[in-house]
C-alpha cells in the first residue's frame, strides 16, 4: 500500500477496520467527534479519548455535485449523517455518491477513502462510511 497521510491528525486510527477517534465525557457519558477537550453537552473537562465504533446506521444522506470552498478532490461525492451505537450522530463523507442507492437505517462501516494527492505526491485519505459488506 502506497504511503498515505490523513487529511487531519487525530481524526481516526488506521487499522482493519479503521476507527474514528472521539471522546467520552465522564460526567454525562456523552460521546463526541472529533475529540473535544471539554464536553460540549455539559462543560465538564473530565473527558477521555476513545475509539468509536466502526459501524453504524445511515440517518440522512445526499451527494455534493460541485466542489465546495477549499476542496480539491473529485465530485460528486457522498455526504451524510451516520448514527453510531454510542448514541452519536456523525456528519461524514460517504463512499456512495448516488443517493438512490442508499436507504434510511442502512448498515454502514468506516473506511479510509482517497481524497487527493498532496504537494509531495502522497495520497491524502479521509474517513468515510461505506455500505456494510460491500466489495
Q: For 86, how many CA atoms within 13 A lie in the half-sphere containing its CB?
A: 22
Judged by CB under 5 A, which of 10, 13, 15, 27 binds Zn ion? 27
**Could you say whether residue 94 binds another protein (CB under 8 A)?**
no
**Cβ pair 94, 128 in contact under 8 A:** yes
Residue with C-alpha cell 452519536?
88
Judged by CB under 5 A, which of 13, 44, 51, 89 binds Zn ion? 44
Q: Kindly state the smallest distance separating residue 26's Cβ from Zn ion, in Å.
A: 8
Query: Which is closer to another protein, CB of 19 or CB of 83?
Result: 83
Q: Which of 98, 34, 87, 26 is nearest to 61 (CA)?
A: 98
Query: Which is closer to another protein, CB of 1 or CB of 66?
Result: 66
**Could you say whether residue 59 binds Zn ion (CB under 5 A)?**
no
**Could you say whether residue 46 binds another protein (CB under 8 A)?**
no
How many whole angstroms separate alpha carbon 26 and alpha carbon 43?
11
**Could you say whether residue 42 binds Zn ion (CB under 5 A)?**
yes
Contact partner at residue 27 from another protein, Zn ion, none, CB < 5 to 8 Å by partner kind: Zn ion
**Could you say whether residue 79 binds another protein (CB under 8 A)?**
yes
Applying CB under 5 A, which part among 14-22, 28-36, 70-78, 119-127 lies near Zn ion?
Answer: 28-36
CB atoms within 10 A of CB 29: 12
Compute CA distances 2 → 18, 105, 125, whole Å: 17, 34, 11
**Could you say whether residue 111 binds Zn ion (CB under 5 A)?**
no
Compute CA distances 87 → 2, 33, 134, whole Å: 35, 11, 24
Amino acid at each position: 500500500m502506497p504511503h498515505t497521510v490523513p487529511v487531519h491528525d487525530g481524526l481516526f486510527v488506521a487499522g482493519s477496520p479503521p476507527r474514528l477517534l472521539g471522546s467520552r465525557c465522564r460526567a454525562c457519558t456523552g460521546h463526541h467527534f472529533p475529540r473535544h477537550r471539554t464536553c460540549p453537552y455539559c462543560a465538564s473537562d473530565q473527558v477521555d479519548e476513545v475509539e468509536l465504533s466502526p459501524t453504524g446506521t445511515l440517518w440522512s444522506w445526499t451527494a455534493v455535485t460541485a466542489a465546495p470552498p477549499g476542496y480539491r478532490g473529485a465530485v460528486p461525492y457522498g455526504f451524510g449523517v451516520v448514527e453510531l451505537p454510542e448514541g452519536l450522530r456523525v456528519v461524514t463523507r460517504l463512499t456512495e455518491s448516488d443517493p438512490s442507492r442508499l436507504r434510511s437505517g442502512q448498515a454502514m462501516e468506516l473506511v479510509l477513502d482517497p481524497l487527493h494527492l498532496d504537494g509531495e505526491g502522497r495520497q491524502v485519505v479521509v474517513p468515510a462510511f461505506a455500505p456494510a459488506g460491500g466489495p
